[in-house]
Amino acid sequence: MTIEITFNKVRNVLFDPEEEYYEFLALIDETFPEFPKGRNPRSVNKNTTLYRAITHSLEVNENFHHYSRGIQGTVSDVMQCSRTGRLRVFLDPSRKDGHFDGGHNLAAIADRNPLINGTRWVKFKIFTGDLTDEEIRRLAHANNHCKKQQARNEANIDGCFDMFHTALADYEDNISYFDGDEGSYRIETIISMLISATGPFAYKFFTESDARKNSHTKSARSMYRRGVTSKVNYFVKRSQDFAKLCEGKDPILNEFVQLWDYILTDTERLYGASQLRTGSYRRLKIFDSENNPLTKTCKETSFTISGIENSTPIPSQFVMMIISALFRHELRVSRSGQLTWRDDLQEAKERWADNALITMKSLSDRWASHLGTGGDVRTFMEDSDVWDMVSQNLA
């Protein structure tokens, strides 16, 4: 279904028939249309210096278009009325028409429009040719380097995450796929858990150029460390290898995330269990006190991937160890890379429920002892004995 928007007041309209693009200035007033996001790798972050600079420029510069690169994008067609001069612009959502550069400009214009109504112009450059998907992606890449791109932005444009977008559509609002994308969970975190779950099969795709192999490469701890953001960021650029990692995973990925959420919500239940009010279980409550200095030593996991907020945040260090170890026990990977459950999702949940309390108690005791001897979060996370302890408790 084609989308039509109209620019009522434009000037300096130029059409290049050879390159097939329009350039023009559009007046920023109450009729200024909403130009949708297309292949832009980033969403708008209004807390950045860049955004503040753009809004300031809009306020103080009457010739704002001299100080801004404006907006660039792709559309299916443009028609100009010879009588009124209006530009009718047609966009095809199926090919992701819209802006691939200039999202912060558009957001600033929307925020400041009443203040500058009818006194500012902004530049547009929109391509109308029959561009291929690859050509649009290259345009998006080439025009978004004022700020260095993270690998995940480019991977998202290149379609590397398409399988995740499809398989995890129910959780889309709480997963961050690119800079500025809202959501409590970065896609790299989910990928790292997928790597951890699939073990050595996935690992070989992530170590082809890594000379620092050691005897611990197959442990849950090592898989977690090698699957974190920096490693994923490097290898998502290698779309062919990344595709091998993702191939065939979508049928089980949704259940994979369901178990993840179940672990978080069921772990929260442990904070209210009667056994936690006395003895060593009390240490689980140290993360439930705003005044306890120990809470400042770790991050907390407050939301499930489905977006449900836990009333009692759970230490993310515990969460990562538990999820990584549990998935290694509950998922099986074939020689062709297909994932299956050891039994089924319900059995996995029941095994977690059976072992959850002792696992959390062991982690809590170990964490308190570690902090008591001056240890920090990093050394705790890199202690292979802790990873082994969690893995054994969940076996």
Residues 32-88 have pLDDT tens digits of 999 998 877 667 878 888 888 888 888 888 889 988 889 999 998 999 988 888 999
Residues near 207 by beta carbon (within 8 Å), at least 6 away in sequence? 213, 217, 226
As to burial, measured by CB atoms within 10 angstroms (0-12 exposed, 13-18 middle, 19+ buried), residue 57 is middle
Q: Which of 304, 301, 305 is nearest to 319 (CA)?
A: 301
- Specify whether the CB–CB gap between 248 and 161 falls below 8 A: no
- pTM for this predicted structure: 0.58
User: Among 6-15, 215-224, 260-269, which is the least confidently predicted range?
Assistant: 215-224
**Whose structure tokens read 């009522």?**
8
Write the DSSP assignment of 146-205 as a string of letters. Answer: SSPPPHHHHHHHTTTTHHHHHHTGGGGGGEE-STT---SEEHHHHHHHHHHHHTHHHHGG
Q: Work out the average pLDDT over 368-373.
A: 79
Give the DSSP letter of residue 237.
T
Phi, psi of 98 (to 5 degrees): 135, -165
Listing DSSP states for 262-313 in one string gives HHHHHHHHHHTSGGGGSGGGGGGGGGG-TT-GGGGGS-EEEE-TT-PEEEEE
Instruction: Identify whether the C-beta of residue 272 lies closer than 8 Å to the C-beta of residue 284.
Output: no
* Tens digit of each residue's pLDDT (9 = 90 or more) over 18-30: 888 899 999 999 8
Helix or strand or coil: residue 354?
Answer: helix
**Please, which residues bridge with residue 23 across strands?**
14, 125
The answer, yes or no, to whether residue 127 has pLDDT greater than 80, is: yes
Is residue 2 predicted with pLDDT exceeding 50? yes
Strand partners, 9: none
The pLDDT value recorded for residue 213 is 42
Residue-range domain boundaries for the chain = 3-142, 150-395
Amino acid at 305: I
3-state secondary structure of 380: helix
Using CA atoms, how far apart are residues 308 and 301, in angstroms rounded to an integer?
Answer: 11
Q: What is the mean pLDDT of the chain?
A: 76
Pairing of strands 120-127, 71-74: parallel
Contact 39, 157 (CB under 8 A): yes
How are beta strands 185-186 and 175-176 bridged, if at all?
parallel
Put the strands of the sheet holding 77-80 in their side by side order: 3-7, 87-91, 77-80
> How remote is the C-alpha of 355 from its chain's centroid?
31
- Tell me: pLDDT of 276 over 50: no
Helix (H, G, I), strand (E, B) or coil at 315: strand
Better pLDDT: 2 or 155: 2
Which secondary-structure segment (H or E) carries 229? helix 229-235
- Type of residue found at 97: D
- pLDDT greater than 70 at residue 179: yes
Token readout for 214 is: 């050691």
- Please provide residue 147's backbone torsions phi and psi, each rounded to the nearest 5 degrees: -115, 135
pLDDT, tens digit (0-9, with 9 covering 90-100), for 303-353: 888 888 876 667 777 887 888 888 878 888 777 667 788 888 899 888 888
Q: Which of the two residues, 172 and 136, has the higher pLDDT score?
A: 172
Say what the pLDDT of residue 122 is: 95
Say if residue 124's pLDDT is above 50. yes
Contact 319, 263 (CB under 8 A): yes
Please give the C-alpha separations between residue 91 and each of 36, 298, 360, 371, in angstroms, as whole numbers: 9, 46, 53, 57
Give the tens place of pLDDT for each residue, 180-220.
677 888 887 888 777 766 655 555 555 444 444 443 334 44
